Amino acid sequence: MKAEVTSAMAQIKFSTMMKEKQLLSFELFPPKTDKGMENLPVTIEHLCEFRPEYISCTYGAGGANVGRNMDVCKMIQNAGTIPVTHFTCIGNTREGIRDQLKMYLDHGIDHMLALRGDLPFGWTGTGGDFKYATDLVAFVRKEFGDKFEIAVGGSPEGHIASRSFETDIAVLKQKQDNGADYVMTQLCWDMEQFKRWLDAIRKAGVTLPVDVGVMPILDEAATINMALSRNACVMPRELCKIISKNWIFPNPFEKDPFDVAAEQKRADFKKAGMEYTIRQIDEYRALGVNGIHLYVLNKWKDVTEIINESGIRTIV
Q: Which pLDDT does position 59 carry in this prediction?
A: 86
Torsion 52-10-297-171 (CA) sign = negative
Residue 105 C-beta-side C-alpha neighbours within 13 Å: 14
Torsion 158-93-55-18 (CA) sign = positive
Q: Which one has a higher pLDDT value, 123 or 139?
A: 139
Q: Which one has a higher pLDDT value, 204 or 6?
A: 204
Residue 4 — very low, low, confident or very high, per pLDDT cuts 50/70/90?
very low
Task: Please state, for a pLDDT cut of 70, what percent of the chain lies above it.
Answer: 93
Residue 82 makes CB contacts below 8 A (sequence gap 6+) with 6, 9, 10, 12, 53, 54, 55, 76, 111
Q: Which pLDDT does position 229 carry in this prediction?
A: 87
Encode pLDDT of 184-210 as tens digits.
Answer: 999 999 999 999 999 999 999 999 999
Of 4-18, 68-82, 187-201, least confident by mean pLDDT is 4-18
Q: Which pLDDT does position 1 carry in this prediction?
A: 37
Residue 294 — very low, low, confident or very high, per pLDDT cuts 50/70/90?
very high
Calpha distance 117→27 (Å, rounded):
16
Q: Give how far Cα 183 sits from Cα of 136, 149, 167, 273, Å.
A: 15, 11, 17, 26
* Range 145-148 contact pairs with CB under 8 angstroms and sequence separation of 24 or more: 147/105, 147/110, 148/101, 148/105, 148/110, 148/111, 148/112
Number of H helices, E strands in the chain: 12, 8
Q: At what angle do helices 220-228 and 262-287 cross, to 10 degrees?
A: 50
pLDDT for 6 beyond 80: no
pLDDT for 92 beyond 80: yes
Cβ-contact 291, 24 below 8 angstroms: yes
Cβ-contact 209, 288 below 8 angstroms: no
pLDDT for 9 beyond 50: no
pTM score: 0.92
Cβ-contact 267, 175 below 8 angstroms: no
**Distance, C-alpha 234 to centroid of its chain:** 18
Average confidence (pLDDT) over 97-105: 95
Average confidence (pLDDT) over 91-101: 93
Radius of gyration (Cα) for the chain, nearest Å? 19
Q: Which pLDDT does position 277 carry in this prediction?
A: 98
> Catalytic site residue 27?
yes
Q: At what angle do helices 262-287 and 191-203 cross, to 10 degrees?
A: 30
Average confidence (pLDDT) over 281-297: 97
Encode pLDDT of 257-279 as tens digits.
Answer: 999 999 999 999 999 999 999 99
Closest CA to 90 of 112, 60, 121, 113: 60
Residue 161 — very low, low, confident or very high, per pLDDT cuts 50/70/90?
confident
Q: Which pLDDT does position 95 carry in this prediction?
A: 95
Closest CA to 188 of 173, 198, 174: 198
Of 26-40, 111-125, 215-229, 240-254, least confident by mean pLDDT is 111-125
Cβ-contact 185, 212 below 8 angstroms: yes
pLDDT for 152 beyond 50: yes
Residue 101 — very low, low, confident or very high, per pLDDT cuts 50/70/90?
very high
Calpha distance 52→66 (Å, rounded):
23
Cβ-contact 166, 197 below 8 angstroms: no
Catalytic choice (4, 20, 27, 38): 27
Task: Please state, for a pLDDT cut of 90, what percent of the chain lies above it.
Answer: 84
Q: Which pLDDT does position 10 carry in this prediction?
A: 46
Burial 93-123 (b: 16+ CB within 10 A, else e): eeeebeebbeebeeebbbbbbbbbbebeeee
Beta bridge partners of 115: 88
